[in-house]
Chain A
Amino acid sequence: MSQKEIKDEDARLVYINDAERTNESFDFTGNSIKTAKYSVFTFLPRNLFEQFHRVAYVYFLVIAVLNQLPQLAVFGRGASIMPLAFVLLVSAIKDAYEDFRRHRSDRVENNRLALVFEEGRFREKQWKYIRVGEVVKVVSNQTLPCDMVLLATSDPTGVVYVQTTNLDGESNLKTRYAKQETLQKAADLETFNGFIKCEKPNRNIYGFQANMEIDGRRLSLGPSNIILRGCELKNTEWALGVVVYAGGETKAMLNNSGAPSKRSRLETRMNLEIILLSLFLIALCTTAAATAAVWLRRHRDDLDTILFYRRKDYSERPGGKNHNYYGWGWEIFFTFFMAVIVYQIMIPISLYISMELVRIGQAYFMTRDDQMYDESSNSSFQCRALNINEDLGQIKYLFSDKTGTLTDNKMEFQCACIGGVDYSDWKSADSEHAGYSIEVDGNILKPKMRVRVDPELLELTKNGYATKEAKRANEFFLSLAACNTIVPIVTNTSDPNVKLVDYQGESPDEQALVYAAASYGFLLIERTSGHIVINVRGEMQRYNVLGLHEFDSDRKRMSVILGCPDTSVKLFVKGADSSMFSVMDESYGDVIEETKKQLHAYSSDGLRTLVVGMRKLNDSEFEQWHSSFEAASTALIGRAGLLRKVAGNIETKLRIVGATAIEDKLQRGVPEAIESLRIAGIKVWVLTGDKQETAISIGFSSRLLTRNMRQIVINSNSLDSCRRSLEEANASIESNEESVALIIDGTSLIYVLDNDLEDVLFQVACKCSAVLCCRVAPFQKAGIVALVKNRTSDMTLAIGDGANDVSMIQMADVGVGISGQEGRQAVMASDFAMGQFRFLVPLLLVHGHWNYQRMGYMILYNFYRNAVFVLILFWYVLFTCYTLTTAITEWSSVLYSVIYTSVPTIIIGILDKDLGRRTLLNHPQLYGVGQRGEGYSTTLFWYMMFDTIWQSAAIFFIPLFAYWGSTIDTSSLGDLWTIAAVVVVNLHLAMDIIRWNWITHAAIWGSIVAACICVIVIDVIPSLPGYWAIFEVTSTWMFWFCLLAIVVTSLLPRFAIKYLGEYYRPSDVRIAREAEKLGTFIESQTMETEMNQIGDPPRR
């Protein structure tokens, strides 16, 4: 990464401590923030504008507008606008309330105080008035008001520690530096003058590029020189910085974007049926228009005299003029559009709103699920995307990261190999070992975490430099304590004499190593940018840090150059074995060989290994290095590359000191989780950056691989060999049906991806029950997901915890983030976030299954519900001279899908469970229902539609024939139809409910009662034609006889077919439900005990 020159047009110029000049020509954003969307005046237009982005609302609006044309006015003004107005009003109130809260928090935030340098001294100033270019002083534990370039800190070396929890969720301390050049100058701010040329505001919180020019000297600034809004200052008395980005342009605010939006597979799938329904709608409207046309044509000569038509209005002028008649063609046209208005709910637009409500409800239950609550991190499940709940029930491919996802990412020092000798004798380790502690100035210092020690090795270190082994052991732990970027923080405990040393750092591996060193008596106590203090078995030793080469992924190692108390200069290097052995001094060949052997043994046990080497530098070497290091670190262009080169030059001919093995423990329940996911038919792919041996051993311990699996390993260094081995593998699997695991490494993947080999790999991988990709680079992860996603219509899920998983999480259909040790970037990019890998099991097998079944049923039911009503309206047209009269009152038509029938389907969509949690967990195969798409299909749609036609016919024609030629009036018959439709539709739902609890009962019966109350209320308004009709009609026996006949007749076929289907061709779900109820699941006892770990976590 070279330090590029920032082009003028892409730069912003900040004059230090000169806000006037800075803002003169550009007027940068002030520091007041505004997360609120609306003001009092803009609320109405903006909110309406945003709401109408939804297609559903536009449809509502178009229909309502059509209805306002006098020729098309089917419904009255009120009835046509009410549903839309209601929905708009509810959303608007919700938005207004949320915005009010944002306003309030904005106000609090904007009025916080900060120290700003003005007129020669620091004065308190409200945050909102801080401007770019001003110098701000922040004291310890204060939150930073804006993004600032550091000028000076209380630490003479210019170090400052910040906690970035608010920004990326990482709780460890990060070090930031003020430039040496500004440190002294900052003491006299009045005369400070210079400017910073930095890039335009962007949302990358890990990058910053700028140049600073003071007194004609140019300095280059990087991400380590800037502190960001939202961070907290820690362990530093004060820091001075110049504001470069303020308010809405700070990186924290720019990152405040909403959750990603995806569309669920089911919803996409549903569009096909929506199109079919639109065709139905058009067919119905065309029929209505055509029959009306035929009637008008046949009676065209009589229209003036037909008593119920009377085309002419004679009052206007003699001879009369046509009233509301515009000729044959127009009448057809108007009839068609009136039909569209009357039959509008054929397209169940309310379904979209119901689906949103249901998803919110489902998300609530997922969030509140105790089984997905992580006690260790005190975090519950998070639904970040609200649109894809039901996709969780259809996952076929699972891509998982390893470190932090399958494992805890809590590193534990396990073994050491010093001088080729293995020290990992834990058996004799004293479990009551009190942990290492020392006394300094009357205080007892203790490392915060205890590490088990090998007593033999402990004895050895105590020998000092007596033997060769002891010397090596001491060097080993000294390098562990010194060669890192860990910051020790001494904290108080309840006992005033006891102080704890807490090691904070960005790498968990380093933390583990430093804690290990501390346990063996090498206690790192202090670190500044210039020196470190290590307490070696009670003796304070001060080492000057002469140079530090940070870890980078090309070198895969880091090194530090220390000036030791004995004035010698030593280089300590620590890194991955692959990169270390190439820079070792070959003269220690036997030790290297031994170490390599040990390393192989370690990684076979699934341990992460690091190799440590060191070298004494002589004066000339040091001088040479020092000058080139100085030159490189002040270089303006290509600094990073230069530094890397300097590091590469010095890190040679190392003497091997030893190797470490760190265990990254599997998370609780991971093997069981992977096993049940595999039984559920989900193909699990693990993508890891680890070595092949480590990956395979983790594969075994996580039960991804089993002993009876044949392993196909692909380790190729060229395109041809890769092709050959893949094709061989492909051929070999075809021959037999054993279970096979594919293990492929990153180098081979380079040849496979973006190549025609992708197809072969996909074929091979499809036949394998497990796939393990090791040594995978982050960009390859997304490539692998894309490889699968583009070749199959099956759903993919990616789960990961680190920044390197973000691309994969975004690529997959469903992205799950683990809120773990590696920060929150994965969570920010994910659709769902949770604390532990094993929560995937309840998430997919239980909630995914439920959500899918519920949503699938709800969609079908909503289609049915609306179509029944529309068809009842349609049948009546055939008996009203083909005009669009509705016997059902317009208010009932409007309220039908709002009040009469909507609540139960939403409640069922949130609460109904086809199977219990325990059954679903014990029989992961039941997950196949979603994978095979059995909950929603075109077949089910047509079945539903035929049922709809029958039911609507029964509802319509039974009263029609019963009342034919009687005195029945329109309103009474309409009321009968209304109530019959509501009862039938709700009972239909009731028939399909699987679990009846009190809420379901309340919803179903409550809806019927509510519908009756509404009908009654409509009928007690004297100004409506239907006045008192409901009382008149219900006082006759005929009404009740019709109602009973309707209900039984319409539901009879469905009931019989449902029974026959469930009894004679039972689905898995049905059998499981019977077994659940009758308790016939006696098999698979063993599995149950295994599952308990997932199924029964301690209750909160």
Chain B
Amino acid sequence: MSSNTASSSAGSGDSSAARKNSKRPKCIDYSSALLSLTLLDSKFTQQELPACKPILTPGWVISTFLIVSVIFIPLGVISLFASQDVVEIVDRYDNDCIPAPARTNKVAFIQGAAPKSCNRTLTVTKRMKQPIYVYYQLENFYQNHRRYVKSRSDSQLRSPKFENQISACKPEDDAGGKPIVPCGLIAWSLFNGTYTLSRNNTPLAVNKKGIAWKSDKEHKFGNKVFPKNFQKGNLTGGATLNPDIPLSEQEDLIVWMRTAALPTFRKLYGKIETDLENGDTIQVTLQNNYNTYSFSGNKKLVLSTTSWLGGKNDFLGIAYLTVGGICFFLALAFTIMYLVKPRRLGDPSYLSWNRNPGGGR
């Protein structure tokens, strides 16, 4: 019964048989399936599975480099354009916002009770389309310090049930024996600077809603978890929280708790939802509360638009252009080398024992 299937490699006579068979209902001929299975099996055990054996020929390599450069150079150009499109106003205020007499001991000033209010004026040099993001930028602040990143309790943030899971939060775990919610160094050091913006002397609304990840608000920070005993310890770190608002609504905290990967980072403060025109002046009244002075950190206020690629950063565009350029150059060089000194592929006379007969062994 399997006589015609067994010789399936034979050509035409076989196909006519197959045609005849095809009128029958399409049930699989198990013997042929088995045969092909054993053939596959023997191909496998003999390590003769059908395989593709690519080799790096000059043609392949040169065209690969060309393709890469053809892709990379335009990508680099559009990345650079995207970065150029972003309008960014950066204002470093940590030094200027300390009254001149206090600058000899900034730490004492910032820990003291003196008023911390400070006025800054920014000028818009290029039209900024909404939404304009307001960031505070900290430098030399290691939110990724090992001691710091570990000092949090994710389960406590999620549900009031786990209020007492504070073991990881040391040295900011409890106040007078009662658990702190949210506990840990991260929450404790919550940024407490505030900015009030006005344009040409009219207040400029900064929308502080929707600055945190939706996923964090919905799942990571519980809407039944309320701040407790927060900043009640002997040392106050940063901002306080309104104990009547659940954590899921405390967006500044949520943003802060997404610890930054790098020591220079921005955190979203809010969004301006109107366009800013070229020549507008922005007055900022800020509360310079946050102590970055003990570790010589910087504080900056940033107003920035974004492009589809993110913020203002030329690095990626330049990197793409460089790599694309190198690839183009290599493609060129390899082509010249190939034309000057070609080698016939697979020429047995290049084999070591053919090159110097007798000396081979």
- B261 near A1052 (CB under 8 angstroms)? no
Q: Which residue of B lies closest to A847 (CB)?
A: B47
- A308 near B54 (CB under 8 angstroms)? no
- A966 near B295 (CB under 8 angstroms)? no
Q: Spot the interface stretch: B5-13, B23-31, B148-156.
A: B148-156
* B residues near A973, Cβ cutoff 8 Å: 261-262
Q: Is A879 an interface residue (CB 8 A)?
A: yes
Q: Is B34 an interface residue (CB 8 A)?
A: no
* A residues near B42, Cβ cutoff 8 Å: 370, 1099
- A969 near B260 (CB under 8 angstroms)? yes
Q: Is A1081 an interface residue (CB 8 A)?
A: yes
- A1063 near B320 (CB under 8 angstroms)? no
Q: Residue among A310, A879, A967, A970 with the most chain B CB within 10 A?
A: A967
Give, as a whole number of angstroms, the nearest-CB distance from A880 to chain B. Answer: 4
- B56 near A1058 (CB under 8 angstroms)? yes
Q: Is B216 an interface residue (CB 8 A)?
A: yes
A307-B189, A996-B54, A1028-B216 known; A1063+B145 contact, CB < 8 A: no
Q: Spot the interface stretch: B122-130, B200-208, B229-237.
A: B229-237
- A965 near B264 (CB under 8 angstroms)? yes
* B residues near A1048, Cβ cutoff 8 Å: 68, 72, 323, 327
- B264 near A962 (CB under 8 angstroms)? no
- A880 near B146 (CB under 8 angstroms)? yes
- B308 near A1025 (CB under 8 angstroms)? no
Q: Spot the interface stretch: B14-22, B97-105, B276-284, B344-352.
A: B344-352
- A968 near B316 (CB under 8 angstroms)? no
Q: Which residue of B lies closest to A1036 (CB)?
A: B310
- B158 near A1077 (CB under 8 angstroms)? no
- B171 near A315 (CB under 8 angstroms)? yes
- B237 near A1063 (CB under 8 angstroms)? no
Give, as a whole number of angstroms, the nearest-CB distance from B305 to chain A. Answer: 14
Q: Residue among B45, B295, B347 with the most chain A CB within 10 A?
A: B295
- B143 near A962 (CB under 8 angstroms)? no
- B265 near A968 (CB under 8 angstroms)? yes
Bound-complex Cα distance A962 to B320 (A): 11
Q: Which residue of A lies closest to B178 (CB)?
A: A315
Bound-complex Cα distance A681 to B360 (A): 9
A320-B234, A967-B265 known; A1041+B148 contact, CB < 8 A: no
Q: Is B250 an interface residue (CB 8 A)?
A: no
- B56 near A879 (CB under 8 angstroms)? no
Q: Is A1045 an interface residue (CB 8 A)?
A: yes
- B61 near A880 (CB under 8 angstroms)? no
* A residues near B215, Cβ cutoff 8 Å: 1027-1028, 1031-1032
- Mark each residue of chain B from 55 to 78: 1 if its CB lies under 8 Å from any CB of chain A, else 0: 110100100100010001001000
- B264 near A964 (CB under 8 angstroms)? yes
A318-B234, A1037-B309 known; A1071+B75 contact, CB < 8 A: no
* B residues near A1072, Cβ cutoff 8 Å: 351
Q: Spot the interface stretch: B113-121, B134-142, B241-249.
A: B134-142
Query: B144's contact among A369, A880, A1077, by CB below 8 Å, is which?
Result: A880
* A residues near B266, Cβ cutoff 8 Å: 965-967
- Mark each residue of chain A from 911 to 946: 1 if its CB lies under 8 Å from any CB of chain B, else 0: 101000100000101001000000000000000000
Q: Which residue of B lies closest to A994 (CB)?
A: B53
- Mark each residue of chain A from 361 to 397: 1 if its CB lies under 8 Å from any CB of chain B, else 0: 0000100111000000000000000000000000000
* A residues near B233, Cβ cutoff 8 Å: 314-315
* A residues near B216, Cβ cutoff 8 Å: 1027-1028
Bound-complex Cα distance A996 to B352 (A): 27
A1022-B154, A1063-B343 known; A913+B220 contact, CB < 8 A: no
Q: Spot the interface stretch: A648-656, A781-789, A881-889.
A: A881-889
Give, as a whole number of angstroms, the nearest-CB distance from A255 to chain B. Answer: 31
* B residues near A49, Cβ cutoff 8 Å: none
- B53 near A885 (CB under 8 angstroms)? no
Give, as a whole number of angstroms, the nearest-CB distance from B160 to chain A. Answer: 15
- A1083 near B348 (CB under 8 angstroms)? yes
- A323 near B291 (CB under 8 angstroms)? no
Q: Which residue of B lies closest to A884 (CB)?
A: B146
Give, as a whole number of angstroms, the nearest-CB distance from A706 to chain B. Answer: 15
**From residue 166 to 186 of chain B, which have CB atoms closer than 8 A to chain A?**
170-176, 185
- A968 near B260 (CB under 8 angstroms)? yes
Query: B170's contact among A323, A925, A962, by CB below 8 Å, is which?
Result: A323
Q: Is B193 an interface residue (CB 8 A)?
A: no
A925-B351, A966-B266 known; A1074+B315 contact, CB < 8 A: no
Q: Is B131 an interface residue (CB 8 A)?
A: no
* A residues near B56, Cβ cutoff 8 Å: 1058-1059, 1062-1063
- A1074 near B330 (CB under 8 angstroms)? no
Bound-complex Cα distance A972 to B79 (A): 21
- A314 near B347 (CB under 8 angstroms)? no
Give, as a whole number of angstroms, the nearest-CB distance from A1014 to chain B. Answer: 19
A885-B144, A1083-B348 known; A963+B261 contact, CB < 8 A: yes
- B323 near A1066 (CB under 8 angstroms)? no
Q: Which residue of A lies closest to B110 (CB)?
A: A305
Q: Which residue of B lies closest to A371 (CB)?
A: B46
* A residues near B238, Cβ cutoff 8 Å: 307
* B residues near A305, Cβ cutoff 8 Å: 107, 291, 294
Query: B310's contact among A966, A995, A1073, by CB below 8 Å, is which?
Result: A966
Give, as a whole number of angstroms, the nearest-CB distance from B107 to chain A. Answer: 7
Q: Residue among B79, B174, B351 with the most chain A CB within 10 A?
A: B351
* B residues near A324, Cβ cutoff 8 Å: 147, 170-171
Bound-complex Cα distance A963 to B319 (A): 13
Q: Residue among B42, B56, B174, B313 with the most chain A CB within 10 A?
A: B56
Query: A308's contact among B48, B189, B235, by CB below 8 Å, is which?
Result: B189
Query: A306's contact among B262, B295, B311, by CB below 8 Å, is which?
Result: B295
Q: Residue among B261, B265, B346 with the most chain A CB within 10 A?
A: B261
A308-B147, A1066-B343 known; A996+B51 contact, CB < 8 A: yes
Query: B316's contact among A310, A962, A1024, by CB below 8 Å, is which?
Result: A962
- Mark each residue of chain B from 68 to 96: 1 if its CB lies under 8 Å from any CB of chain A, else 0: 10001001000100000000000000000
- Mark each residue of chain B from 309 to 346: 1 if its CB lies under 8 Å from any CB of chain A, else 0: 11101011001100100110010001001000101011
**From residue 292 to 314 of chain B, which have CB atoms closer than 8 A to chain A?**
292, 294-295, 308-311, 313
- B50 near A997 (CB under 8 angstroms)? yes
A1062-B55, A1062-B56 known; 13 other A-B pairs, CB under 8 Å? A305-B107, A305-B291, A313-B171, A313-B172, A365-B47, A883-B145, A885-B146, A964-B264, A1000-B51, A1028-B215, A1028-B216, A1038-B310, A1068-B351
- Residue pairs across A and B with Cβ atoms less than 8 A apart, 27 shown, are A302-B295, A307-B294, A308-B148, A310-B235, A315-B174, A315-B175, A315-B234, A369-B45, A881-B263, A885-B149, A911-B47, A961-B315, A964-B315, A967-B266, A968-B260, A974-B261, A996-B54, A1022-B158, A1023-B155, A1024-B154, A1037-B309, A1059-B58, A1068-B351, A1068-B352, A1075-B346, A1076-B346, A1077-B55
Interface residue ranges, B against A (CB under 8 Å): 42, 45-56, 58, 61, 64, 68, 72, 75, 79, 107, 135, 137, 141-149, 152, 154-155, 158, 170-176, 185, 188-189, 213, 215-216, 219-220, 233-235, 237-238, 258-268, 291-292, 294-295, 308-311, 313, 315-316, 319-320, 323, 326-327, 330, 334, 337, 341, 343, 345-348, 350-353, 358, 360-361
